[in-house]
């Protein structure tokens, strides 16, 4: 049976501790993770707020169109001027975001429509239409056109004659298509900005990782040189921080070690001469032979 193949993921091993990663790799990876998480959070918050602002502004525009139609149609509605009402809905329907515009009488029957003449004089029985006809204040409902799939708001605004006497209702369908396109465009721009920020962060993280880890690597190399017996090497680090102080202390320690080793060598070289001379003086008969 063939031996099962094992897959290794270095990125995962960074957190599991099953492999050794250099300080530079760890520092670089943690910085990139932090930046990516930070940019992801910023992207989510900004995109959410941006979407809310665009949709809110869209609702205001749709409501202003409904108010405009109501203002144009109040007098013609009271005078039963259906021709003028038809002209009014046609004017409002020319707006690029307006899908339809209609006017209902007090019973909820359609008396003017921008595109559906077959609905004139008829009540609309769907839930959206019933809620719009029964509303005594402005009403905004989410609606999807079953035939085209267009997402829109159905905005209804009642028309009152005098105080509390509802005379009819104006309704417009305000499409979300351009709003969704604007949201998608802003999202793409945010993604591009986030990618540029991540690329810049990668470059900055690389420079910081080198700046922080290079002095440490020099210190490690210096320690390794001492273990090999090279006491003449000095470390030059100009970071103007604690690492530079450590390098100076290391160089002082290396010089002291070199002096001690040189002193020991000199002591070892002079010790055999002293030993030989003392042995010569301690041999028996050496003094008598010299005197004779």
* Dist CA 77 CA 70 (whole Å): 10
pLDDT in the model for residue 146: 81
Give the chain's residues under pLDDT 70.
Answer: 1-21, 239, 269-292
pLDDT in the model for residue 280: 55
257, part of any domain: no
pLDDT in the model for residue 104: 94
Domain extent at residue 80: 57-177
98, part of any domain: yes
Picking from 69, 172, 138, the residue whose alpha carbon sits closest to that of residue 77 is 69
Could you give the number of structural domains in the chain? 1
Q: What is the DSSP string of 116-153?
A: -GGGTT-B--SHHHHHHHH-SS-EEEEEE-TTT--EEE
243, part of any domain: no
Task: Provide the CATH number for the domain around residue 73.
Answer: 3.30.450.20
251, part of any domain: no
What is the pTM assigned to this prediction?
Answer: 0.63
pLDDT in the model for residue 185: 92
pLDDT in the model for residue 1: 43
pLDDT in the model for residue 67: 94
44, part of any domain: no
69, part of any domain: yes
With 0-12 / 13-18 / 19 or more C-beta atoms within 10 angstroms meaning exposed / middle / buried, residue 147 is exposed
111, part of any domain: yes
143 phi/psi in degrees, rounded to 5: -150, 140
240, part of any domain: no
* Dist CA 57 CA 50 (whole Å): 11
């Amino acid at each position: 049976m063939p031996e099962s193949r094992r897959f290794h993921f270095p990125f995962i091993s960074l957190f599991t501790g099953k492999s050794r990663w250099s300080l530079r790799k760890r520092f670089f990876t943690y910085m990139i993770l932090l930046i990516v998480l930070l940019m992801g959070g910023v992207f989510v918050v900004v995109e959410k707020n941006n979407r809310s602002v665009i949709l809110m502004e869209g609702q205001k525009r749709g409501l202003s169109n409904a108010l405009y139609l109501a203002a144009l149609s109040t007098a013609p509605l009271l005078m039963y001027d259906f021709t003028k009402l038809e002209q009014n809905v046609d004017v409002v329907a020319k707006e690029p975001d307006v899908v339809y515009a209609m006017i209902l009488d007090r019973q909820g029957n359609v008396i003017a429509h921008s595109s559906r003449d077959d609905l004139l004089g008829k009540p609309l029985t769907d839930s959206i239409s019933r809620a719009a006809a029964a509303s005594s204040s402005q009403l905004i409902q989410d609606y999807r056109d079953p035939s085209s799939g267009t997402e829109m708001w159905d905005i209804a605004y009642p028309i009152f004659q005098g105080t509390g006497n509802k005379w009819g209702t104006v309704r417009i369908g305000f499409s979300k298509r351009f709003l969704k396109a604007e949201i998608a465009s802003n999202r793409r721009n945010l993604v591009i900005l986030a990618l540029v920020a991540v690329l810049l962060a990668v470059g900055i993280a690389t420079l910081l990782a080198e700046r922080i880890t290079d002095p440490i690597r020099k210190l490690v190399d210096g320690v390794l040189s001492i273990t090999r017996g090279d006491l003449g090497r000095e470390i030059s680090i100009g970071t103007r921080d604690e690492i530079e102080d450590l390098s100076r202390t290391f160089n002082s320690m290396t010089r002291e070690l070199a002096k001690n080793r040189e002193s020991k060598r000199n002591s070892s070289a002079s010790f055999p001469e002293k030993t030989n001379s003392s042995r010569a003086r301690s041999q028996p008969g050496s003094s008598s032979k010299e005197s004779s």
